[in-house]
Every structure is written in structure tokens, then in C-alpha cells.
Amino acid sequence: MDLTKELNCVVTQSLQVSPIMKIIRVMPQGWEFPSFESGQFVGLGLPPDAGRCEESTTEHAEPKADKLIKRAYSISSSSKDNVIEFYVTLVHSGNLTPRLFNLKIGDKIWMGKKAVGMFTLDEISSDTNIVLVATGTGVAPYMSMLRSNALMRDGKIIVIHGAANSWDLGYSSELRLLANMFKNFSYYPTITEPGNEPSGWAGDTRFIEEIWKSGLAKEKWGFAPSPDNTHVFLCGNPRMVTSMKDLLAVDGFKEHKRKEPGQIHAEEF
């Protein structure tokens, strides 16, 4: 079966950010990606006979020969761009990511025709403060928010980004620049393996949970975040998401659900 006919986009950029992270940009060919809300995700897919990158290991499970391998990815580009950007971690034994890491500029890829998801700022009033917490590529949806209109909000915004090494803190230059330019925005990176840093690391080395408990938001804003004035977004490693939800519950924050509005918004990768 010729699955290449289903490939409806072209790769316009493939940037190696670190040994296991890439920024990939794709553009629809012959169709337009419909408007989306920053924070949403979309499917990407490749045929099983697409090549795997050199660094990959044996696949943990054989993909079906007659179907595209499809996975969900958060969009990191602005909701105003017609080229759609993704920030992807390599799962060495995974089905799709070793194939994504093998893509060259000009190669074809499948992208879903519509972005979906409720991990967005759209229903939150402009004067509410926002804490955006990420591990690894979990920062992707926040880049889309910040590159769209999040910084035009009246409330304050912090990005707390955790990774193993400083080179895994994708988008850090852009986030530092935004923090210098916008008074209502702070960026707080932390790394957990400072011993690997060739030139040392002067920043925080605690886990995100410890940083939250120590009162980072209060230190930055001059007041303690509470469910009345702040919404918290959690994205990335499911363990971080669960432990942060437990910590926030102690302060009275509740998970946001379609029928029961709350202040915790979570997306697990």
C-alpha cells in the first residue's frame, strides 16, 4: 500500500537543539491549516517504511505495515504563522520519533487537518496571573502562547522550565529575551544534572516541586498566588504533573474540567 499519498505537508526546517531534541517546522501543501488556539496539539505521522535516525535503537513494538504511524504533538509556533512548529524529544526505541529525527528539509510528512485540545488561555480573564510549568518539550505549547498574544495580557506570567541539562532547555534564548522585554513576564529555568555542565551552571538545580514549595511566584510577584488570582498550567512528564497537582491542591487549587472550572490545567506527554 502506498502511504506516501497521505503525506500532506513538507518539512521546511529541522533544527537539532540537543542530542535528543529537535525543532521541526512543517508547511501544508495545497491546503491551509485552520486557525487554532495556542496550547493545542495536532497529529503528525510517517509511513512505517520511513528511515529511522542513526541514534535510534530497536523498536519496542513493530508498527503496522499498512498504516501511518501517528502521534500527538503540541504546536510551538504562533497561532498567526502558516508554518507549524514542533519541539520533539527522541524516544530511542519509539515508533515515530526516530523517523521524525531522520527527516530532512523538503521531506514529506502527514499532519492532522485540525488542532485540538483545551490546554489554552482563551477562557481565562486577562488580569489573572499565569504560571506555566514545563519539563523538557512540555514548553512547546507555552511558546505558542507567548508568541501569539499571551504577553498582551494584564496579569503576570512565569515560565518555570525543568530539564536534565542546560542544553535541553529549548527556547531558553527566546524566553530570556522576552523576560528582558516584557515587565509582566519572568523565566525561571532549573536543571537537575549540573555535574554534566562543561562551563558550570549558576542557576537553580532543584526539582520544580521544591521550587514551587519555596515560594518562587511570591518572590517574583510580591504576593502569594492563590486560586482567586492565578491559574497554573502543567505540561510534560506525567510524574511532575501529578506531584504538582498534589502540591497545588494543598493551596486550594482545583483541576480545570469542562463542567467544573478550576485553576489547574494539565497536559501529560
Ligand X SMILES: Cc1cc2nc3c(=O)[nH]c(=O)nc-3n(C[C@H](O)[C@H](O)[C@H](O)COP(=O)(O)OP(=O)(O)OC[C@H]3O[C@@H](n4cnc5c(N)ncnc54)[C@H](O)[C@@H]3O)c2cc1C
Residues contributing to the site for ligand X (CB under 6 A)? 41, 60, 71-74, 86-89, 91, 93-97, 137, 140, 267, 269
Which C-beta is closer to ligand X: that of 142 or that of 188?
A: 142
Angle between helices 140-147 and 172-181 (to 10 degrees): 40
Nearest distance in Å: CB 140, ligand X: 4
CA–CA separation, 43 and 153 (whole Å): 29
Beta bridge partners of 135: 162
Q: Tell whether the torsion through CA atoms of 27, 32, 35 and 37 is positive or negative.
A: negative
Which C-beta is closer to ligand X: that of 140 or that of 217?
A: 140
Nearest distance in Å: CB 97, ligand X: 3
Which C-beta is closer to ligand X: that of 23 or that of 124?
A: 23
CA–CA separation, 230 and 74 (whole Å): 23
CA-nearest of 245, 168, 263 to 209 is 245
Which C-beta is closer to ligand X: that of 216 or that of 234?
A: 234
Nearest distance in Å: CB 127, ligand X: 28
Cell match 497561532: residue?
79
Three-state SS for 43-107 is EEEECCCCCCCCCCCCCCCCCCCCCCEEEEEECCCCCCCCCEEEEEECCCCCCCHHHHCCCCCCC
Which C-beta is closer to ligand X: that of 96 or that of 211?
A: 96
Which C-beta is closer to ligand X: that of 119 or that of 221?
A: 119
Nearest distance in Å: CB 219, ligand X: 29
Cell match 463542567: residue?
259
Which C-beta is closer to ligand X: that of 41 or that of 188?
A: 41
Nearest distance in Å: CB 11, ligand X: 16
CB closest to ligand X, residue no:
94
Contact 99, 125 (CB under 8 A): no
Nearest distance in Å: CB 181, ligand X: 25
Contacts of 6 (CB under 8 A, 6+ apart): 45, 68, 110
Nearest distance in Å: CB 83, ligand X: 16
